[in-house]
Amino acid sequence: MGAAAAYALAERGAQTHLFEQFDLHHAKGSSHGASRLFRTAYFEHPDYVPLLKRAAARWRALEAAQGKTLFHRTGLVEAGPPDSALISGALKASDQYGLALNRLTAGQARARLPWFAWPDDYEIVIEEDAGMIRADRALAALIDGARANGAVIAGGVRVLGWTPVPDGIELATEAGARTFDRLVLTPGAWAASVLGEPGGLVRPLRKHLFWAATDDKTFTLESGFSPFAIERGDGRFFYGFPVVDGDGLKIGEHTGGAALSTPEEDAPADKVRAGLEQFLRETAPGLPQTITKEQACLYAMSPDGHFLIDAHPADARVVFAAGFSGHGFKFAPVIGEALADLALTGETLREFDFLKLARLGAVFD
């Protein structure tokens, strides 16, 4: 989100400085790794759909500007009981916005997707236009784009604090203090230590990802294996990605995770791993079964699972985006634009209104 904001600000001619506490491509936050899903029939809430349509156009523009492939149109398999949040929400968004969702019969699903043990009561849909963002390349493209427009990007520099002063916002960093006209904060799971009071709304959640090794080319991106998202009757939500760069089939659980008091805290992966192994055995017996790699990641959970994008209650010259709750990456270019709008003009598109703090009814001093 910070890289996307720096890109949007620098593109508009603002003198932009980005400070990141770790290496720019670190794996301690929420944005690392090779892949993230992009989908538009958005089960979380239909109001995200207009933002996703803009984001799709922005990702394509970034690809064109840099001559890089950042998005693979792989399609996305979504499945679960008809009343599951995933299926009912995706169908609602697709109905409301006329989005194409290919609904499969059980027979069609067993033929097209034989690796899964589809329960008879499942609804199985395919969003053919959905796909996979190459996350590592996308982050690099946003950073390169910001730099190409004159932004100063400083990795390894921690922000220690900020103070509104009459002529701007005084920013204290490990590299010294300086006053800026505007401050954009995108602290991820570190919201509590960076945002002050509103940051207290965001809880870090430890997540784990796993890879199951396979030499079977069937499961590769190149062979057209589609990512999948499955919400089971017990409410547990699992997802998977095709093999990329020979790295095994990536699988994870969207539900669950260990609540942390600080983002640096660790949490054991063994129970999560056992849950994934059970999912593979019971629901996806045809997929590779042997987990050979794991990696930790962080969700920054807002109280209702929706993003928080707004001016800071302490000073409107400070704007922030936080609480992406495990589903923000796909929106990055338009989040960057909204933050640039808010910082430079004090307002942004009405489509972002549902993501403002006011919805939570929280009162800040």
Ligand X SMILES: Cc1cc2nc3c(=O)[nH]c(=O)nc-3n(C[C@H](O)[C@H](O)[C@H](O)COP(=O)(O)OP(=O)(O)OC[C@H]3O[C@@H](n4cnc5c(N)ncnc54)[C@H](O)[C@@H]3O)c2cc1C
Which string of DSSP letters, residue by residue, matches 201-265? G-EEEEEEEEEE----GGGBTTTTPPPEEEE-TTS-EEEEE-B-TT--EEEEESS--EE-SSTT-
Among positions 7, 299, 320, 352, the unique one binding ligand X when judged by CB under 6 A: 299
- Closest approach of ligand X to the CB of residue 19, in Å: 5
Token pair of 214, please?
């396979």
Answer yes or no whether residue 242 interacts with ligand X by CB under 6 A: no
Q: Which of 186, 214, 302, 348 binds ligand X (CB under 6 A)?
A: 186
In angstroms, what CA-CA distances link 337 with 114, 244, 329, 349, 354?
42, 30, 14, 10, 16
The verdict on 134 binding ligand X (CB under 6 A) reads no
Instruction: Name the pairing type of β-strands 228-231 and 76-80.
Output: parallel
Applying CB under 6 A, which of residues 207, 250, 306, 312 lies at the interface with ligand X? 207
Determine the interface stretch with ligand X among 93-101, 111-119, 145-153, 327-335 (rule: CB under 6 A).
327-335
- Indicate the residue among 106 and 172 with the shorter CB distance to ligand X: 172
CA 202 to chain centre: 15
φ and ψ of 339, to 5 deg? -65, -40
214 binds ligand X (CB under 6 A): no
206 scored as a contact of ligand X (CB under 6 A)? no
Contact between 52 and ligand X (CB under 6 A)?
no
Q: Can residue 226 be called a binding residue for ligand X (CB under 6 A)?
A: no
Q: Which is nearer to ligand X, 36 or 203 (CB)?
A: 36
User: Which member of 7, 14, 36, 87 binds ligand X (CB under 6 A)?
Assistant: 36
Buried b (16+ CB within 10 A) or exposed e, 238-252: bbbbbbbeeebbbbb
Q: Which is closer to ligand X, CB of 159 or CB of 280? A: 159
Is residue 340 at the binding interface for ligand X, with CB under 6 A as the rule? Answer: no
What's the CA gap between 24 and 140, in Å, rounded? Answer: 9
Q: Of these, 10, 11, 29, 78, which contacts ligand X (CB under 6 A)?
A: 29
236 binds ligand X (CB under 6 A): no
CB-count exposure of residue 50 (10 Å: 0-12, 13-18, 19+): middle
Residue 123, classed as helix, strand or coil, is strand
The answer to whether 279 contacts ligand X (rule: CB under 6 A) is no
Shortest Cβ distance from residue 108 to ligand X (Å)? 25
Among 12, 53, 158, 356, interactor with ligand X by CB under 6 A: 158
Residue 243 and residue 248: Cα distance in Å, rounded?
5
- Which element (helix H / strand E) includes 104? strand 102-104
Contacts with ligand X by CB under 6 A lie at: 1-2, 19-22, 29-31, 36-37, 158-159, 186-190, 194, 207, 209, 252, 297-299, 324, 326-330
